[in-house]
Structure 1
Amino acid sequence: MRIFWKLAAVFAIALSISSAAHAADAKPHRIVIQVDQNDAATMNLALNNVTNIMQFYRDKGETVQVEVVAYGPGLNMYREDTSPVKGRLKQISEMAFPSKVAFSACNNTKQGMEKKEGHPIAIVSQASLVPSGVVRLSELQEQGWSYVKP
């Protein structure tokens, strides 16, 4: 019986080492989604993609990083005064863990809108400004992120 327990212990250690090696070799899941249209249906489709991606990996016991980059007319997605999806942004931010979701707003677009409209524009608290939305998309793709445009 003693040999059985020793063999079981050796097997458990080998399995643990194998699992740890597999986890270390696993490619991280990183997906960037572009929104460049002032269209509620497109914004909702992008957020549906985020939700579905996070749920898919959650069901597999894995995590994912998702970033939604909005620029041009798509920046309205993150405007405090015009966003038709403000509630969904908050909801998705709150339910993301253990995965990570980021909402990036193009500062070039924001500055252009402010100049055209003649007043400051507030961005929802879930979003962060990036200098350029297009550059952000490009940099993430250069780092190996998968690209999606709904």
Structure 2
Amino acid sequence: MTRIRNLVLFLAALLITGVTTPVAAEPDDDVDRKVVFHVDFADPDRFNLTLINVRNMVKHYKEQLLEYDVRMVFISQAVRYVTDEEMAGTPFETPEAFESRRAEFRDRLQTLANVHDVKLELCDITRTIGKLEEEDLYANVDVVPSGVVRVAELQRDGFQYIKVQ
């Protein structure tokens, strides 16, 4: 009887003091996965890697049946990825070497937007400098007043920042 009483007292002491075996926290599947990809570069190989990363991410989330909000914010030289215009005479004039990949990039970007619900956002300052009208942009591209401000706002709102190097 003494042993049982001692065991009960010992267990009660453990509960009171909080001494327990640590257990790894389970991820909360109700938490939104929010990610912003900052795209401000001209290098098509780097953009290719960005598209691969975005696709892999949303594919994983979909396979796991997880909610997500993935955005790509285009600034500066990256304007070339959201239009078919050459932007001749602007700082964003498209080099001929890029033209051979434009259709491929357009199709992949539109698949991300249409099939995987990735949101595409372009800096309006960049659009104006590139002498583009909103009609010159691909479908699904939303214009935001300032790309860098948008990236900062998204980070403030809990988005994780990714910039492929």
Q: Please give the range of the TM-score, normalised by the shorter of the 2 chains.
A: 0.7 to 0.9
Contact 1:35/1:42 (8 A) holds in 2: no
**What is the aligned-residue RMSD (CA, Å)?**
1.8
What is the SS of the residue equivalent to 2:130?
A: helix
Aligned match of 1:143: 157
Contact 1:30/1:64 (8 A) holds in 2: yes
| Per-residue deviation, 1:120 | 4.6
Tell me, yes or no, if structure 1 residue 28 matches structure 2 residue 42. no
Which of 144, 152, 162 is equivalent to 1:130? Answer: 144
Supply the AA of the counterpart residue of 1:93: A
Tell me, yes or no, if structure 1 residue 101 matches structure 2 residue 121. no
| Per-residue deviation, 1:40 | 1.3
Once residues 101 and 92 of structure 1 are traced to their aligned partners in structure 2, the CA distance between those partners, rounded to angstroms, is: 6
Which of 67, 72, 75 is equivalent to 1:68? Answer: 72
CA deviation map 1:62-96 (0-9, x unaligned) = 12110000101111111222572111111222221
Aligned match of 1:10: none
Paired positions, count? 120
Which structure 1 residue ranges, 4+ long, deviate > 3 Å from structure 2?
A: none
TM-score, scaled to structure 2: 0.67
Gap runs ≥5 in structure 1: 1-21
Once residues 60 and 139 of structure 1 are traced to their aligned partners in structure 2, the CA distance between those partners, rounded to angstroms, is: 28
Tell me, yes or no, if structure 1 residue 78 matches structure 2 residue 55. no
Aligned match of 2:54: 50
Once residues 126 and 114 of structure 2 are traced to their aligned partners in structure 1, the CA distance between those partners, rounded to angstroms, is: 27
Matched-pair identity in %: 26
Compare CA radii of gyration and give the structure with the larger one: 2
Supply the AA of the counterpart residue of 1:33: F
Gap runs ≥5 in structure 2: 1-27, 87-98
What is the SS of the residue equivalent to 1:136?
A: helix
Contact 1:104/1:128 (8 A) holds in 2: yes
